[in-house]
């Protein structure tokens, strides 16, 4: 980690100074935590543009909803972009197997769903539907879902009809 702290010295030396708290582009991105996804790079974002919410799978969990609700209600974002990606780790296991492995190791079964999935585009649509169904997210008119291709660096939009 110390290497990263050294990198941070260089970043701070070139840092442009304080920006406003609310995202300038009124955008919230919900994406997978995958190490190959450089969201600023993929979208050409600059510091201050957009909220970035990330978790295993880019799943719209209760916590992702919490973040989107705070993003929209307190900090003015209006658009949501969902980003899944090819070769996702969430496609390599099944929830029940993973929970059983954890229980075998710790003797405690996790009370949460791991959120593995099989079909990438279906899971993007599932994520959009969860936002649409949520009673606390006020702005749902602009939600778009994408799959990032880890071989080409391209974002491909997922077709969706609500």
Known binding residues for Zn(2+): 32, 34, 85, 88
Least separation in angstroms between CB 72 and its own copies = 11
Closest CA to 94 of 112, 117, 119: 117
Q: Which is nearer to its own copies, 69 or 126 (CB)?
A: 69
Determine the Cα–Cα distance for residues 104 and 102; give it in Å rounded to an integer.
5
| Nearby residues of 57 by Cβ (< 8 Å), 6 or more positions away | 32, 84, 88, 90, 115, 116, 117, 123
Least separation in angstroms between CB 122 and its own copies = 20
Q: Which is nearer to its own copies, 151 or 161 (CB)?
A: 151
Q: Which is nearer to its own copies, 21 or 161 (CB)?
A: 21
Least separation in angstroms between CB 90 and its own copies = 8
Q: How many CB atoms neighbour CB 117 within 10 A?
A: 19
**Residue 51's beta-bridge partner residues?**
28
At 127, is the secondary structure helix, strand, or coil?
Answer: helix
Least separation in angstroms between CB 84 and its own copies = 14
């Amino acid at each position: 980690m110390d290497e990263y702290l050294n990198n941070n010295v260089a970043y701070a030396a070139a840092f442009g100074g304080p920006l406003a708290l609310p995202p300038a582009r009124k955008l919230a991105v919900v994406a997978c935590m995958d190490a190959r996804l450089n969201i600023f790079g993929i979208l050409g974002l600059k510091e201050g543009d957009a909220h970035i919410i990330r978790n295993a799978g880019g799943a719209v969990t209760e916590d992702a909803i919490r973040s989107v609700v705070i993003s929209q209600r307190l900090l003015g974002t209006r658009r949501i972009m969902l980003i899944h990606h090819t070769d996702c780790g969430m496609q390599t296991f099944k929830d029940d197997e993973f929970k059983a492995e954890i229980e075998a190791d710790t003797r405690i079964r996790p009370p949460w769903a791991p959120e593995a999935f099989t079909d990438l585009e279906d899971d993007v649509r599932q994520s959009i539907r969860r936002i649409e169904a949520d009673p606390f997210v006020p702005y749902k008119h602009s939600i778009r879902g994408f799959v990032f291709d880890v071989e080409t660096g391209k974002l491909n939009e997922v077709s969706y009809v609500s």
